[in-house]
Amino acid sequence: MTTRRSVLASLGALGVAGCVATGPTPQLGSDGRPLPVLYRINPDDTARIQFRVLDSVNSLRSASGAAPLQLSAELNAAAATHSRDMAIQNRPWHFGSDGSSVIDRVRRVGYPGTALGQNISETYESELETVAAWMQQPGTRDVITDPAARDLGFAFFQEENGKIWWTMVTGDGASTAQNVPTPVARAVTG
């Protein structure tokens, strides 16, 4: 009887182990790849997203031999302004609707250093997927891994339909701006 109970218990355990919970089957596009899932951002998650991007960028910079960045409130403000403005213009564009450049926007928010680069994106993907896409292109990768950069600004604007406008801005930092030639800001489309 004990052996029979052991066998039944073992079979029952195997039956339960064989049950795998599966989620909904992903929908596939005409190319056979899974269709994107809407990534909805809670506005309360802004700081968490910014620090997650900072950690990711610093890992990528470390792998390339560059010093880590720190978040800059001024660069975050310039990035947020530009993300919202791109949504208003309905195009990923490095210039503001008023003709402003990243250099202009960084000056307007009182950033004490110099803008070095800007990456932008119009997508439905998450922040980490967007950073990964930027790393695939030489120009946008250069903004992320620029050894002269010390500060990072990162922001987004999400439309009601789920489209997200991402902006990343890098700067040389106020303390590193002394005795260093002023670099030319480069704007790179992502």
Q: Are 35 and 29 in contact (CB under 8 A)?
A: yes
Residue 22: what residue type?
T
CA angle 127, 70, 59 (to 5 degrees): 55
**Which DSSP letter does residue 42 get?**
P
Question: Which position has the token pair 């990456």?
Answer: 119
pTM for the model: 0.74
Region 13-42: mean pLDDT is: 66
**Alpha-carbon dihedral of residues 30, 32, 33, 34, nearest 10 degrees?**
80
Measured from the Cβ of residue 87, the count of other Cβ atoms closer than 10 Å reads 18
What pLDDT band is residue 36 in, cutting at 50, 70 and 90? low
Three-state SS for 190? coil
Name the region of 32 (left: φ>0; alpha: ψ -120 to 50; beta: rest).
left
Q: Is the pLDDT of residue 8 over 70?
A: no
**pLDDT by residue (tens digit) across 115-152?**
999 999 999 899 999 999 999 999 999 999 999 999 99
Instruction: Say what the pLDDT of residue 112 is.
Output: 96
Supply the mean pLDDT for the chain.
83
User: Computed from CA positions of residues 93, 75, 109, 44, in that sequence, does the dihedral angle turn out positive or negative?
Assistant: positive
Q: Is the pLDDT of residue 9 over 70?
A: no
Q: Is the pLDDT of residue 189 over 50?
A: no
Question: Which position has the token pair 């989620």?
Answer: 23
